[in-house]
Structure 1
Amino acid sequence: MSILTPFLRSLLLTSVLSFTAPLILVGAILIGLSLLGFVPLLESVGATGVKQVLQFLATFGSGQPFQGLVIIGFVCGIVGGLFDTFNFYRYQNLRNH
């Protein structure tokens, strides 16, 4: 049985999930802060929070918040793929001993 097929399947799945996790997290934070803006006396907290998150994302995206979000997701996907590769390598070495 080829060892390459399970490795590539695992690597692809890990990379995709690692890419989407920060996107979902930042999206949930933005939605939560936006909904907080509808609560009386907390409108300014919600608006300020959204503004701060967008400025943070713009830092990584050369002034574009969406580009910053994609960059963060891409880097997390690469790190997840590297971790999966390391884990696969360690599993192969430990299994042979």
Structure 2
Amino acid sequence: MSILPSLLRSLLITGIFSFLTPVLFIGIILATLFTVGHFPQLEVVGTVGIEQVLHFLSIFGSGSALAGVVVISTTGSLVGMLFDAYTFYRYQNLRRP
């Protein structure tokens, strides 16, 4: 029985989840800052926070915040897939007597 389909399925699922995790994390941060900006006492905190996050993302995206999110998520996906491949390799070697 070939282990290749099992490995590819595992890498695909890991890659998808590892890509979506930073996207959701950055989205939650931006949504929180946007919500905080609706309170009159914290309006400046929300506005400055959103500007700082977008500036941080634009550094990774060569001027585009959306490209920054994609770069960070792609990197996270690659790292997650590398960890999964290593774990799969170790599991296969430890399972054999």
Normalising by structure 2, report the TM-score: 0.98
Partner of 2:33: 33
1:21-63 deviation digits (Å, cap 9, x = unpaired):
0000000100000010001200000000000000000010001
Q: Which residue of 2 aligns with 1:8?
A: 8
Q: Which runs of 5+ in 1 are unaligned?
A: none
Please, what is the CA RMSD of the aligned residues?
Answer: 0.6
Instruction: Name the residue aligned to 2:69.
Output: 69
Aligned to 1:22: 22
Give the ranges of 4+ consecutive aligned residues of structure 1 lying more than 2 Å apart after TM superposition: none
Give the equivalent residue in structure 2 for 1:92.
92
Matched with 1:81 is 81
Q: 2: distance between equivalents of 1:63 and 1:7?
A: 37
Determine the C-alpha separation between the residues in 2 that align with 1:68 and 1:40: 30
Question: Which TM-score applies when normalising by structure 1?
Answer: 0.98
Q: Aligned residue pairs: how many?
A: 97
Gaps of 5+ in 2: none
Displacement of 1:2: 1.8
